[in-house]
Amino acid sequence: MSLPKRTLGRTGLEVTQLGYGAMEVRGERIWGGRPCNDEQASSILNAVVDAGINFIDTANDYGKSELYIGRHLAKRRGEFHIATKCGCHVVYAGKHDETPHFYTRDNILRNIADSLLKMQMDCVDVLQLHNPSVAVCEQNKCVETLQELKAQGAIRFLGCSSTNPDLSTYIDWGVFDVFQIPYSALQREHEDLITKAGEAGAGVIIRGGVAKGEPGQGLGAKERWALFEEARLDELRGLDESRTAFLLRFTLTHPHCHTTIVGTASRQHLEENIVTAMRGPLPPDIYEEAKARLDAASSLTSSDG
């Protein structure tokens, strides 16, 4: 039995709804996560593809992520779709990460050239702007640069990783084939915009779909996960279903979640995510009840504040 797939909007790409976020294989760089060495990167990346996951997301400023993908998956290029990001400019000193972004044509061209070299590829499926404002995008003519790269054959589809307040405008432009948007049961502010993007024909990549995992087991923040208890979601979990698994199924239930990129360097966590994804979306009544409880808990928290 294979992992469920959806069509990534007008790209036509058939992607597994459980994707993989490769920020977790960024080498010794710590940036809010755990270090990952070459052996660990090889193990998890090959396990991802072995499991049938066929969508991997990375970025030019995710440490050694692109390098590891090239080193360990170049010979398996036909087994997965790859999305990366541009506008990145890495300044690295010791164990501290600073990743400023510049969206000039020259820097975007440098990014994609570097990405293709490290990943040992001739083309990426999706190149995403790494969350610039609309004003910055217009000033630097970013769309024109992406279209130039598409014409050259370096990229197949135009993407944009974005959030409020810019996301709605980007959707209205109608030029991006794919959007990457943060979303989970504990972070629902873009829920309606995900629907808007999907209905406009764009592919939707969800990031943060498990809110980094339950604190103590994953890297999630206790403050954000407090909403899980306030909404009494434990009462809705299935038998032997973890909180993280419930959150992943909630994300997968959104009708316009084409893929969600869940990052991990742990084979055990990967296997748990696969089992969860195979269970499919939440039953409609559980999904609606969860949203109602989250709405009530959020309203109560807002009024208390």
Residues 6+ apart with CB under 8 A from 250: 184, 185, 282, 287, 290
pTM: 0.93
The per-residue pLDDT for 96 is 42
Whole-angstrom Cα distance, residue 297 to residue 229? Answer: 9
Q: Which residue has the higher pLDDT, 89 or 201?
A: 201
Cα–Cα dist 246/248, whole Å: 5
Cβ neighbours for 13, distance < 8 A, ≥ 6 positions apart: 7, 55, 81, 125, 157, 203
Q: How far is CA 302 from CA 222, 233, 247, 295, 305, in A?
A: 18, 19, 22, 10, 5
Instruction: List all residues 6 or more positions away from 286 whose beta carbon is below 8 Å from its beta carbon.
Output: 236
Q: pLDDT: is 220 or 118 the higher one?
A: 118
pLDDT tier for residue 34 given thresholds of 50, 70 and 90: confident
The model's pLDDT over 49-70, given as tens digits with 9 standing for 90+, comes to 999 999 999 999 888 999 999 9
- The single-letter DSSP state of residue 3 is P
Which CA distances in Å does 188 have to 152, 184, 209, 212? 38, 6, 10, 15
Report the phi/psi class of residue 141: left, alpha or beta, with left for phi > 0 and alpha for psi in -120 to 50. left
**Closest alpha carbon to 298 in 195, 246, 226, 243:** 226
CA angle (196, 202, 208) in 5-degree steps: 75
Q: Which amino acid is at 70?
A: G
Pick the CATH number of 5-304 from 3.20.20.70, 2.60.40.790, 3.20.20.100, 3.40.50.1220: 3.20.20.100
pLDDT per position as a tens digit, 154-184: 999 999 999 999 999 999 999 999 999 999 9
The 10 Å CB-count burial string (b at 16+, else e) for 33-62 is beebeeebbebbbebbbebebbbbbbbbbb
Asked if 7 and 204 count as a contact pair (C-beta separation under 8 A), the reply is: no
Non-local CB neighbours of 168 within 8 Å, separated by 6+ positions: 193, 196
Each domain of the chain, given as residue ranges in start order, spans: 5-304
Q: Kindly tell me the burial class for residue 88, based on how many C-beta atoms sit within 10 Å of its own C-beta (0-12, 13-18, 19 or more).
A: buried
Average pLDDT score over residue span 281-304: 87
20: amino acid identity, one letter: Y
93 pLDDT more than 50? no
61: its two tokens: 């400023």
Task: Give the per-residue pLDDT at 246.
Answer: 96
The chain-wide mean pLDDT, for the chain, equals: 92
